[in-house]
Structure 1
Amino acid sequence: MSLLMSTSATACGRAHNSPVPRTGPFGRARLALSHVKLRRYEYRHGLHAATADSVATAPADLLYAKTPAGATETLQVVSVDSSSSPATLTVQWKGQTLRLSPRSEGGWSTEKIGCYPAEGGELLRAFPAMSGRLLLELHEHAGPAPTAVSSWDRVHSLGELEAAATADATLWTEGTRPGAPEKTPLQAATLTAGELVALMQGKRGVVIVQLWNGFEPARGQPLFEPYVVGLLERALATPGVRAVTSTAPGGVGLTAVLFADKEPFNVWGPHLASFGCQANAVAGSAYYKVLIGKILGYADENIYGYVRSLGGGLTPAIISQVEADLKKLSKAKPKLPWNREGSRGGKKTAQAAGGAPGAGQQKGGGKRK
């Protein structure tokens, strides 16, 4: 297993020499341990006593963990270490890497062994604006990690998410239909991850991800949602995918804009950054709500229904203006999947855009909820 030595003395904790799996929610240290082998190991070493129902787990699984206080926390499995006795789990929780060790009295103890994303890691190299104080604030925002876990249930996996997007990516490509049932907690938690998967599968041309939420921090940090950091790193390494950062007015928010390097996506994506679009902030006018929705590829009826539900004063003139402005940016029609063999390449070169807000834009942004 590829390891690095954590020597951070920042929000990640005091300097220590604990081995930490390399950054990324899936780690680069996946163990080829089947569920069957792990279940046998659990029974051999008594690990089943620490779980709710003897459910086996593997890297990239998602767990709902119960704490002794009765709270439910979402944990993402990075690795299963069967070389130790008893076996331990390495998981990620809100930017913190934890080691879970079975206790003789039942349940699991937790030990904080690192933080993610890490200074100098792939994500910070791609988005250097996150470095320094902003990264410290991101980690400090998570608060203290749970000190123990009473039991856990496996509820999802990255493989299942990818398979669902392959079969039908509508949930992650078309936006929310007016009057649609509220998303389940699991759907809401993995929404951004599903959008990134859809982008890499060629079913989305532009995706925005909130890297830092400073305008409404009580809502949490989207970067800590399941699989997001690892999928961001994978998307950045995917041939044909590019990215720019979008800074909110006053620096209260930072968003990653990822896009296919083909027209019109490689022109539309940087245009979002030009006016400070933020993934988790609502645009300040009907014009910008429609513009952002169309660039993100959502279905027209869902975009218009969303704007009307907010009383945004949607008119045919606004829709016509958005369509005309998009054609000025690029005359190419969006074609999906963008990574299909022989699909049209881009002619224009995407430029990293600044964070100046456009007229009528409040905080920028507008990814659907």
Structure 2
Amino acid sequence: MARGFDSETAARLRCAGQTLAKLKLSSENALSALGLNAEQIAAIYGGTRPAIPQEDLVKVLFANRWVCCVCRDPQRPIIVHHINEWSTSRDHSTPNLAVLCPIHHGEAHTNRQLEQNLTSSRISSLKAQWEQQVVRDDALAIQQGSQLQLDNWLYFNHLRLFELAQGLGVDPTAVSGFQQAITAGVCDQAGAVVKRVTAGSFMYADSDRIQLYYYVTALFSAVMQDVVVRNISDHLDRSVLGCTIAPGDIIFVQGAHSFSDELPAPVGIALRRGTRTANHVIISFVFDSAEATSVSAWSLWLTGRQSVGSLIQVKQIRRMDGGLHIAGTVLAIRNDSSDLKGRTYEQSLHDSGLPHQRDDDSDIDMSQFDAVF
């Protein structure tokens, strides 16, 4: 794809064991036998345009979720298109790259009546609209998932949630449930949760748990309306995440998590570690399990190996031992939802012709890694 091939052709050639070096040594008849057209053969032989750097290629594919920004049809193969032609712009940067299907790629190179042209400015506009929609859809899906049933959220990091609300300009005292929480004595006048937990218990164990949960979920929903969330559940590959997320980003990841007690722990804190591992990507965090939202979450769903979804603020990204380790502060943990993870990340990478390994949910010794509390 970095040399202008559509995703279907790139994946087919890669599956056949072909590389650019092999193709350059092949005869024109042999290339034709592989299903390549004259333009593609000329691109292989000529080498007139350098390949798009993989980091930029991955960024634009991820931002568009491997879908044409015009028709947004996930069933169509895709081509990475230069909005301003390479021959004049010499620009491989992501602002000059758009993801198009073969149909709309053809339209981008076809002159029609002016009002029907898929011009550079129109492609840029459609690309921006689609990338913004992708971000909104991620946050909306996570927020709506919490409204389907009352027990979806297993854990909240109450302090970080309050800090995030303040940073986003969300007024905790204006959300529904605040007055009931004040009356119950579970939060202060500013909206910060002040509920105390006795040793060996958890925050939602007492009779005021309904008021606390109602207020915290309302505050969380208000925050989710303003925060930018990257749902990486279907994109767990080091070649993708290594150049698409950065410290400070808020990510959501769903799938098999491993939970274990973290020792030694500070006095009064029931410290627990959570990890999600797949395809040599390790995502880890630690949290106070006393902030679990129910007895089943505290005693079962946040222990051992469970399929859940975690909302995490990235603090550190490291490459080590051939893998990618992402450490962060967990903001919330929820039950899994089929709407938030399609298990399609291997297919997306396969279709795009990018290198990847399928090694989902691998067991990795986490004792060598740190996480942020």
TM-score by length of 1: 0.24
Q: Which has the larger radius of gyration?
A: 2
Identify which of structures 1 and 2 has the higher relative contact order when contacts are C-alpha pairs closer than 8 Å and 6+ apart.
2
